[in-house]
A and B are shown apart, each in its own frame.
Chain A
């Protein structure tokens, strides 16, 4: 019997593609943000409101992942920015190879903020590096304030938590302060924004979070925001 030391990452193939993507994003000064949440937390709606806020011709684009259908891409295309649907055909997360293949015919040169809308799933997408500058986890107030403790992996790896559907607060037993405290227990560094896409509350602060990083990436490259 012989024991061979391996000491390499299980997903080294994914991670090497992700590293290639990150190098490309750095070279082209693209801020890539990976949006992750449970199904129905409002990723597509937040992206709709976000795209709506950009002037026509602004350099933004979206890759949107789903197991089936291109409904989300159809919703997002109305804003006239480049949008591409990635249909995973059963896979519960996006991986770096899917992003690289999707970018092969995506007008990446016309974009300096690239949103990736991951498949709705609070677990599996956490394991896959897509070359993004930051993972952003969305948590809607309809889901429960203990989610960060139940799904620590994704809250641990995210730079920002966006609490969504704030307008529903009067109707649901969700404690904002508790949700934020729980998220910070898992990840003391996590930043937090609160939004309601229905009323527009908090969208300006969310947009400012993006713009600040976009500017940093433009001036200093990706290392400044990771």
Chain B
């Protein structure tokens, strides 16, 4: 259960960003989680809810985008989703491929109200 720490890291980033935007009130934060990131989206939603409950951020929505494991072919350059842990290029059958995504733990965006927070 390291999702609590991750939820806190997201909230710290949100607060930093809001401060940079003149105390803007945040409404939604988007994160990307790779299939290989070892982060459980459900546990993260729960941790996020617990971390924001009864705080000024209780209404902050968390949007999670799950990123599939993607590989890039070093022979033909194609990128492809890896299913069932088959890393061979589906286009040219080359076994020489490299990871191109799927271990993300990334803050994507933050939505804030236009009017600066007066609190």
Contacts and interface: CB of A to CB of B under 8 A. Distances in A.
A6 B39 contact: no
Interface residues of B, number: 32
Interface string A134-168: 00000000000000010111101100000000000
Interface in A16-68: none
B2 A10 contact: no
A93 B95 CA distance: 34
B31 interface: yes
A13 B105 contact: no
Contact of A3 (B2, B106, B111): B111
Interface string B31-66: 100011111000000000000000000000000000
Interface in B57-114: 85, 87, 95, 103, 105-114
Contacts of A225: none
Interface residues of A, number: 33
Contact of A1 (B5, B9, B27): B27
Given A1-B113, A6-B107, A188-B87, A154 B38 contact: yes
A81 B35 CA distance: 39
B110 A127 contact: no
B105 to A, nearest CB: 5
A10 B38 contact: no
Contacts of B103: 153, 156-157
B28 to A, nearest CB: 8
A6 B112 CA distance: 12
Q: Which 6 A-B pairs have the closest CB atoms?
A: A153-B38, A124-B2, A126-B38, A6-B107, A185-B85, A10-B105
Interface of B: 1-2, 5-6, 9-10, 12-13, 17, 21, 24, 27, 31, 35-39, 85, 87, 95, 103, 105-114
21 contacts: A1-B114, A4-B21, A4-B111, A6-B13, A6-B109, A8-B13, A10-B13, A10-B106, A11-B6, A11-B9, A12-B13, A13-B12, A91-B2, A91-B5, A95-B5, A127-B2, A127-B39, A151-B38, A156-B36, A156-B103, A188-B95
Interface of A: 1-14, 91-93, 95, 123-124, 126-128, 149, 151-154, 156-157, 185-186, 188
